[in-house]
Amino acid sequence: MQRLTNRFYTGIPKGFYILLCVLLANNSVLAQEDKEKEKIEKETTNLLRSATSELESDDFIDAEVDLRKAISLSPANETGKYNLGNAYYEKELNDEAMRRYVQAAEVAESKPEKHKAYHNLGNTFMNAKKYQEAVEAYKNALRNNPGDDETRYNLALAKEMLEKNPPQGGDDNKDEENNKDEENKDENENKDDKGKDQEGDEGDEKENEDKGDEKDENKDGENKDDRGNPKDPNEQKDGEGEQPKQQKPVPGQLSPQQVKNLLEAMNNEEKKVQDKINARKQKGAKVKSNKDW
């Protein structure tokens, strides 16, 4: 007869051992991260305290350096950004303060923090005369703290200034559209004028050609005498002090001057013959006496 014995398993499974090691390692990493986070928070707190003390001593430069370090260490902490915004605001660096308040409002988690950031952001918008943005900033501040009378007063003031100084964006767009319409109108008119000018130029060219032909015909008529013969270009016209230029002779054709010389020679010869005839007639004719006998 066999004896039955109870067996107890005392070994640890390999998978469980690996899991246990992973958990221990993770706990160690988490513990290390917590220590690092705690260290960063402590260092950030010290920088913020140091910056506050420096601002109270009117040491703006060192305070700005410490606040920038605090922001770099803890980007999600709104305190450094908000305090740096206040430091810039006190130094009348409005644009820098505005940027820091925007950053503080974005990362702020609690309503009091959001209220303070938006309230001061509204003040920077008022300084920059951005009244529409100021109204929105004060409204956001009141959403996080509806009972703040100072914010409510600033909101009323921002609305009043907005009514007195309405944004000009709409008017600018209208002016731009009007300018575009005027440009298109001018361009169309220029095209029409250009077309008319081209038509006018064509008409003028045609008219000038007709005048040129007519002028040439008149010139040809002026260069001829009553018989249709060419006139001497050197002959002076009535009422003119200058003589026209001589025409160049055409090969194979007598020039007006040559024609004139021939005519004068023929006239002289004819005159000589006529003088001889008249002399002969005078010799054969009876002389009458005026005296009475």
Block mean pLDDT (10 aa), the chain, length 293: 51 63 72 85 94 94 95 94 96 96 95 96 96 96 96 96 84 50 54 52 54 52 54 49 49 65 75 70 45 33
Check: pTM over 0.85? Answer yes or no.
no
Q: What is the domain class of 37-170 according to CATH?
A: mainly alpha
Backbone angles phi, psi at 224, to 5 degrees: -115, 150
Tell me, rounded to whole angstroms, the distance of Cα 17 from its chain centroid: 74
Residue 27: what pLDDT?
A: 73
Q: In angstroms, rounded to a whole number, what is the distance separating the alpha carbons of residues 101 and 94?
A: 10
- Burial (CB count within 10 angstroms: exposed 0-12, middle 13-18, buried 19+), residue 268: exposed
Q: In angstroms, rounded to a whole number, what is the distance separating the alpha carbons of residues 133 and 162?
A: 10
Residue 271: what pLDDT?
A: 76
Q: Quick one: CA dihedral 122, 128, 129, 132, positive or negative?
A: negative
* Type of residue numbered 70: A
Structure-block tokens of residue 120: 């001061």
Residue 263 vs residues 73, 246, 254: alpha-carbon distances, Å: 124, 18, 12
Other CB atoms within 10 A of residue 156 CB: 12
Q: Where are the domains of the chain?
A: 37-170, 179-213
